Each structure stands twice: as C-alpha cells, then as structure tokens.
Amino acid sequence: MTTSGTDELEIFRRVLERNATQLRRDLPWIGCNDPWAILVSEVMLQQTQVARVLEPWRRFLATFPTANSCADAPLAQILQLWEGLGYHRRAKALHGAARMIRDQFGGEVPRDAASLLSLPGVGHYTANAVGSFAFGERVAVLDTNVGRVLARAVANQTLGARRAQTLANELLPENGVAAHNQALLDLGAQFCRSRPLCDSCPLSDACRWNLEGGDDPAPRSASVSRPQSAFEGSDRQLRGRVLGLLRLGQVTSSRVVADVAPGENERVVRIVESLVNDGLVERKGNQLRLAMT
C-alpha cells in the first residue's frame, strides 16, 4: 500500500476546503478572535467532551476575561470555576500559564507555537491549535480526531507518530490554515468518529479507506486515543468528590474521610495526599482547603 502523493493530498485538501462550512460545528470558541478565550477552550477540551466544556468555558471567561485577571486571582477561585470538568491539574496549569503570560509576555498570549509551548499545561497540540486559530500561524493540529482522519481518509494505513505529523504538515494549505485545521477537527468530530458515519460523510468520495476498503487503520494510529478507563469507582471520581467538598469551604481531614467514601479511609487519605502533592489542596493542621497559590 502506498501513502498519499502530492496530488492526492491536494485533492483531499480541496475537497475538505469545499466542505468546511458544512462541517463547521456551532461552538462559541470557533471563529472567536480572542487568544485568551481560545487558549482557555483548548485547555478545557483536553480530555473533556465538548458538551461538558460549554458552560464552564462561559462562566470562566465571564469571571476571567483576560489572562491578567486570572493570574491575579487565587488558585482556589480557578478551582471553583473548574467544577464539572475534572482533571484538575489542568486548572492549576492554566493558572500558571496566566501568571507566566502576565509576568513574561506583558499580559498578551504569545503569538507563536514555540512560545506557547513554554506555558504550563500546553503541549504540541494545544500550542499549534492556539497558534493557528488565534494568530493564523502555519502549524498543523494533530489530536485524536485528526489522527483518525489522516489514518483513514488520507493514508488508509496505520500511522506512527512521525508519519502522522509529517502528513498533517504536508496537508497544510499555504493560506487559510485556521479554517483548514478547524475543518479537519470538525470532520473527525462529526463524521470520522471512532464509529465512522461514512454513509453521510461529505468527504466520502475523497476518502481512501472508503474507496479502497480494508481494516480500519485508525485504532492503532498515533494520536488516536484509547477508550478512557471507567470513571465510576475510580480515583478520578474520588478526587472530584474531595474537591467538590472543599469547594463548599475549609473542612477537617476526618470529615473528608467520612463524607467522601465511608469505609474507604486509607484510600481517601491517599487521594487527599495526592491532591496536596499536586498543589490543589492545602493542609493546615487537620484542616483542608482549596489551594490559594
């Protein structure tokens, strides 16, 4: 099996561009021109589904419309607003990013992916997403949605990390990078899902897997995420419960143990310890509260 040549990439790119408007999801951060709002959306979307991000994103930006306003607030306030999103280390990282933007970038979100990468909690995907969506930088996004599209529609083969990134780079247009990246993400989210909707997909005539057949190349490809482990009964769930209790105010360690998971004392103590170590919870004597810094 051959990988895509330049002509095939060009054809796919054009068909994608033609269908970009049809593919476009109606989400408040798409087409938004505020770099801070885009950065917040991208951090929240890491590991969290779009539907669960909408409301927290709105209330976060209503409270912290700028990086400086977030940087000046105590971490506890960011953790309050993170309710419903989970993976709270992202909240601390975003707070750290806001402080770095205030202290090292004059309050402005840095304009290029290389500088964005220096911010806490910002990896390659997020840096390239913010760089392209907020500033039109010519960099490719490669997440689980795009990884599926590349493996199926563009290559029709399982892709390793380097090949997937190279292909994403080769597929970039000279101009209109933000619209191109958005169209790839929209295609992956709307049609080229884990269970693809090929019958209704507007790219079906330009999709190699659809035209050539074979086993689905996406599941073992780079950047294509595996199903998350069960939330119910997980440590993640307990961490969320501890933080939920502390959102109501300072409480004693013994009350946390008693309220969060009665009968699982050792486990709750371990969870609290991990939250303290992560800098999300502060302990003073036997009192626990959301971390302030």
- Among 3, 46, 69, 204, the residue binding ligand SF4 under the rule CB under 6 A is 204
Instruction: Give the binding-site size for ligand SF4 (rule: CB under 6 A).
Output: 14
Whole-number Cα distances in Å, 41 to 62, 151, 270: 13, 26, 31
Q: Tokens 């990468």 appear where?
A: 117
Residues in Cβ contact with 263 at an 8 Å cutoff, skipping those fewer than 6 apart: none
Q: Given candidates 196, 271, 275, 280, which one binds ligand SF4 under the rule CB under 6 A? A: 196
Instruction: Find the shortest distance in angstroms from Cβ 185 to ligand SF4.
Output: 13
Toward ligand SF4, which CB reaches closer, 199 or 266?
199
Q: Are 128 and 111 in contact (CB under 8 A)?
A: no
Per residue in 254-286, is it b (16+ CB within 10 Å) or e — as a string? eebbeebbeeeeeebeebbeebeeeebbbeeee
Binding of ligand SF4 by 152 (CB under 6 A): yes
Segment lying near ligand SF4 (by CB under 6 A), choices 36-44, 114-122, 146-154, 264-272: 146-154
Say whether 251 sits in a helix, a strand or coil. Answer: strand
| Residue 57 within binding range of ligand SF4, rule CB under 6 A | no
Residue 180: which of 51, 13, 2 has the closest Cα?
13
207 binds ligand SF4 (CB under 6 A): yes
Percentages of the chain per state (helix, strand, coil), in multiples of 5: 55, 5, 40
In the set 191, 223, 239, 290, which binds ligand SF4 (CB under 6 A)?
191
Catalytic residue among 42, 108, 264, 273: 42
Q: By C-beta, is 110 or 147 nearer to ligand SF4? A: 147
Max CA separation in the chain (angstroms): 67
Q: Which stretch, 68-76, 104-112, 164-172, 206-214, contacts ligand SF4 (CB under 6 A)?
A: 206-214
Within 8 A by CB and 6+ apart from 166, the residues are: none
* Residue 203 found at the interface with ligand SF4 (CB under 6 A): yes
* Min dist. Cβ of residue 187 to ligand SF4 (A): 6
For the chain, the first-to-last Cα distance in angstroms comes to 54
Residue whose CB is less far from ligand SF4, 155 or 256: 155
Concerning whether 42 is annotated as a catalytic residue, the answer is yes
Q: Which among 92, 42, 47, 41 is positioned nearest to 70, based on CA atoms? A: 92
Taking the least distance from each CB to ligand SF4, the nearer of 67 and 203 is 203
| Under rule CB under 6 A, residue 180 binds ligand SF4 | no
Q: Which residues bind ligand SF4 (CB under 6 A)?
A: 149, 152-153, 191-192, 196-198, 201, 203-204, 207, 209-210
Give the residue numbers marked as catalytic.
Answer: 42
